[in-house]
Amino acid sequence: MLRERETSVPISNEELREFLEADELDVLASPRFKELLKQRLWELVCCLYGGSSGRGEA
């Protein structure tokens, strides 16, 4: 197993590798969903941490 972690759920090397390997795959998510979620999350970050400029493009 990998070194100490802060999560409470058991995580194997294999599943973490699978998680990271998604970078190399074509993932067919809706671009509209992706953009809308980004906007919502940026609003959340601004609210929580005081964002530096609009929509995460600073």
CA dihedral 9, 45, 35, 21 (to 10 degrees): -30
Q: How far is the CB of 33 from another protein (least distance, A)?
A: 5
Minimum Å gap between C-beta 42 and another protein is 6
Does position 31 bind another protein by CB under 8 A?
Answer: no
Rg (CA), the chain: 16
Alpha helices in the chain (DSSP H): 13-21, 31-49
Site residues (vs another protein, CB under 8 A): 2-9, 11, 13, 15-25, 27, 29-30, 33-34, 37-38, 40-42, 44-46, 48-58
